[in-house]
Amino acid sequence: MKIQNVKGGYDFLPKEQKIRNYINGVLKETFMEYGYGSIETPILCYLDMLVDKYDENNDLLKEIYKLSDQGGRELGLRYDLTVPFAKFIALNKNNISMPFKRYEIAKVFRDGPVKVGRDREFTQCDADVVGIEGQFIEAELLSLYINAFKKLGIDIIIKYNNRNLMRGLIKEAGVSEEQISRVITILDKMNKITEAELRTYLIEIAIENEQIDKLLMLFKLDIDKIKDMFKDSSNEELTLGIKEIDTLKGYLEKLGFSEICKIDLTLARGQDYYTGNVFEVYDKSGYLTSSIGGGGRYDKMVTEYINDGEVYPAVGISFGLTSIYEILKTRDDFKNTSDIKFYIIPMGVDMEALSLADTLRSYGYNVDIEMKSRKLKKSLDFANRENIPYVIIVGEDEVKSGKVTVKDMINQNNFEIDLKNPEKVKEIVKL
């Protein structure tokens, strides 16, 4: 038996997990600032619920981990947190108030290609709201994105588009209703492949050359030209899409976000459940080329799950923890710090060391104790290697005098504290 992780799944050392916990902490803080409460949903889902919102040709269907239980029921591991959230609302609508805003930070699973920033088992950090129509809430969610990444120290570009707009333009090119979903999937790759490759993909699904020419022409226009060209259009989806994306654009301009948020008419997001504006976040530096966040409006999903005659508009965003971690792990401020603030080395006075550790912990400090009776030099080497900033050596002499020296391992500014009343440490060592 070979001991190894499944491809796309990883162990994280404490130093690595510290960065991931930091990201989670920043996101939780930001979610709460915007009024989102925490929930938890199951990893296991019924397979029919997971696949219900997708066209049979959607690539994501191939990435769902499928399994069955002992009763022969078909199950799947959740591939995102949006479908489980819609299920949560359907099951709990009588126990919550609308609008309902939630965040969830949890594992999801996709059996897809593995590359930097894209794993098969990974953590998503989502914020969603049910019960608010329109672009007001969408603008606030993009504000949440911008503020969260600012706290994380990552410069971003947000691309946004509208699914109604895409569908409307595709209809204008003469494409049939039955082919629209497949065309959207191909157009989503437009900025990643050559025009010749794009034509090949479209021809393979029986799109005619005249339609392809019109598609390429339309999807190279900017939103202002589209507005002007179709101002008197009877194409309801196109008209709605123009209105939705233009309204969001107006909000973002007034908020001063125009340099960060850019319209990309080929952006579709892979999930078929999106109904309106969609968003993706990218690292402005280009260190990672794949998105580090994404989301959009999905008004039909919750509505169809509940199916009580009411409409349940929904919109949400997701942060890619794995991708964000890949960016932050290279930074020096995460390389040379320890979660442990004090390292106590007892020299034959274990009980006194334990007592001092408990007192320091009561002040809010993280404290570790040397318990292997190693030589002093080896203990100090350990503290240096782990970048622990403060070391306290406690021996019989220190116990008798009632005084111990706190060694500042970084600045070499040592100071003394009283064993019976060590509160002086709070004046010098900040949490």
Instruction: Classify residue 333: in a domain, yes or no.
Output: no
Q: Which domain holds residue 358?
A: 339-428
Mean pLDDT of the chain: 92
User: Quick check: 139 pLDDT over 70?
Assistant: yes
Q: How many CA atoms lie within 13 A of 96 on its CB side?
A: 17
The 342-347 sheet, strands edge to edge: 367-369, 342-347, 390-395, 403-408, 415-418
User: Do 267 and 345 reside in the same domain of the chain?
Assistant: no
Full 3-state SS string of 234-263: CCHHHHHHHHHHHHHHHHHHHCCCCCCEEE
Last residue of a domain, one of 308, 328, 348: 328
Q: What is the pLDDT of residue 55?
A: 62
Global pTM? 0.86
Return the CATH number at 374.
Answer: 3.40.50.800
Cα distance between residue 320 and residue 297, in whole Å = 18
CATH number for the domain harbouring residue 140: 3.30.930.10
Dump the DSSP string for 170-204.
HHHTT--GGGHHHHHHHHTTTTTS-HHHHHHHHHH
User: Does 6 reside within a domain?
Assistant: no
From residue 203, alpha-carbon distances to 118, 173, 210, 220 in Å are 30, 14, 11, 19
Among 328, 347, 370, the domain-final residue is: 328
Q: Is the pLDDT of residue 239 over 90?
A: yes
Length, in residues, of the chain: 431
Do residues 314 and 348 share a domain? no
- Residue 3 within any structural domain of the chain: no
Q: Does residue 36 sit in helix, strand or coil?
A: coil
Domains held by the chain: number: 2
CB of 166 within 8 A of CB of 268?
yes
Residue 384 pLDDT: 93
3-class SS of residue 126: strand
pLDDT at 161: 97
Residue 151 in this model has a pLDDT that exceeds 70? yes
Judge whether residue 299 has pLDDT over 80: yes
Q: Which of 306, 328, 350 is the last residue of a domain?
A: 328
What pLDDT does residue 338 have?
85
Residue closest to 174 by CA, chosen among 207, 152, 198: 207
- What is the structure's pLDDT at 192? 86
pLDDT of 53: 64
Residue 280 main-chain phi, psi, to 5 deg: -140, 145
The answer to whether residue 92 sits within a structural domain is: yes
Residue 270 pLDDT exceeds 80: no
Same domain, 131 and 252: yes
Show the CA angle centred on residue 356, arms to residues 355 and 358, nearest 5°: 65
Q: Is the pLDDT of residue 167 over 90?
A: yes
